[in-house]
Each structure stands twice: as structure tokens, then as C-alpha cells.
Amino acid sequence: MSLPSDSLPRSPASGLAGSLAALHAKWGWFVALGIVMIVAGMIVLGNEVLGTVLSVVTLGVFLLASGIAQIIHSFQVKAWGAFSFWLLDGLLYVAAGAIAIYNPVLAAGVLTLILGVSLLVAGGFRLAAGFSARHTAGWGWIIASSLATLLLGALIVLGWPVNSLWVLGLLLGIDLVFNGVAVLMLGLRLKR
């Protein structure tokens, strides 16, 4: 008596082949998604202010929803003893979300400054790591990467607050276009 083919153990190679076959059948969806992402990215790059406002409002909605859920959660675990911490954390999320929705330009300014400072700090840490690894092959690439990060962070901080209206939209647009191209190329590759 033979076992049905569904119950036979599969090797990793046969599982991968099955997954690739399933992906091959859906190559058109990858292409369509890639095109939609590229178009969305081009729209955002055509109006970075709109992209910035939309991304900040979206963040605000998620913060607001998370805050409300956390406030509800705080009442569910009241007996645990950390009620006030959960409640305060939820209220802070609600406040941040409400500010981002009500005044996305202000929120964009704060987020842009945080981004610039974060890039400066990350670039500084990476620079230190690069110099500490100077006896290792390829350490120069770490230094180059850190200098690029420091330069980007400095440009954002020095251009703040004026650049707050377009920096986040520009980064969102670039990300959408690059991700869209990657998904499109994957879909075209899967077609073959």
C-alpha cells in the first residue's frame, strides 16, 4: 500500500521548487504591485509635501489607535499593579497621534529633527566602529558609510525646520520607487 503524495516527507529542495512554482504562477501580481508602487512613489516625489503630510497623518492614526488599545488594556490588567504606567503610556500615544493628525506640519518638524539627529548619532557610532576595525579588510567601507550617514544627518539638521515639509515625503517617495522596481523585477524574473 502506498502513501498519498501529500503525506510523503518533502525535502527542502522539493519545498523550494513548489514555492517557486507557486510564485511563478503569480508573477503578474508582482509586476502589478511593482508598477503601483512606482507610480505611487512618482506621485509622492512630484509633491513631497503631500507625501510628508500623508505619512505623518498615517503615523498619527496608528499612534492614536495603539494608544486607545493600550488605555483599554490598562483597565484589563488593573490588578497587576502597573495600571498607571500602562494608562500613562496609552495617553501619551493618544496625545502624540492626535497632534500628528491635527497638526501634521508640526509633527513632521519634530520627526524630521529626530531623523537628522538619529543619523548624526548613528554615523558617529559607525565611524567609531570603522576606526576600531581599521586592521580588518574592508574597514574603509564602514568609514565611507558613516561619512555618508553623517553628511545626510548634517544636511537634515542644518536645513531644519524648513526642510521638514519635504524630507519625509522625499524619503517615502524614494523608498516606494526603489521597492517598486525591486518587486517589478522580481515579477519579471518569475515569469521566465
Classify residue 17: in a domain, yes or no: no
**Set of cell numbers at residue 158:** 542644518
Q: Which domain holds residue 45?
A: 30-191
Residue 29 main-chain phi, psi, to 5 deg = -65, -40
Let me know if residue 23 belongs to a domain: no
Residue that wins the pLDDT comparison between 97 and 19: 97
Answer yes or no: is 88 within a domain.
yes
* Count of domains observed in the chain: 1
pLDDT digits (tens, 9 = 90+) for 115-147: 999 999 999 999 998 898 888 878 888 899 999
Give, for 107, the enclosing helix (H) or strand (E): helix 104-132
Domain contains 175: yes
Q: Report residue 81: phi and psi, to 5°.
A: 105, -10
Q: Is 4 left (phi over 0), alpha (psi -120 to 50) or beta?
A: beta
**Can you give the C-alpha Rg of the chain in angstroms?**
24
Residue 13 lies in a domain: no
Q: Is residue 78 part of a domain?
A: yes
Q: What is the pLDDT of residues 44-102, one digit of tens each?
A: 999 999 999 999 999 999 999 999 999 999 988 877 778 888 899 999 999 999 999 99
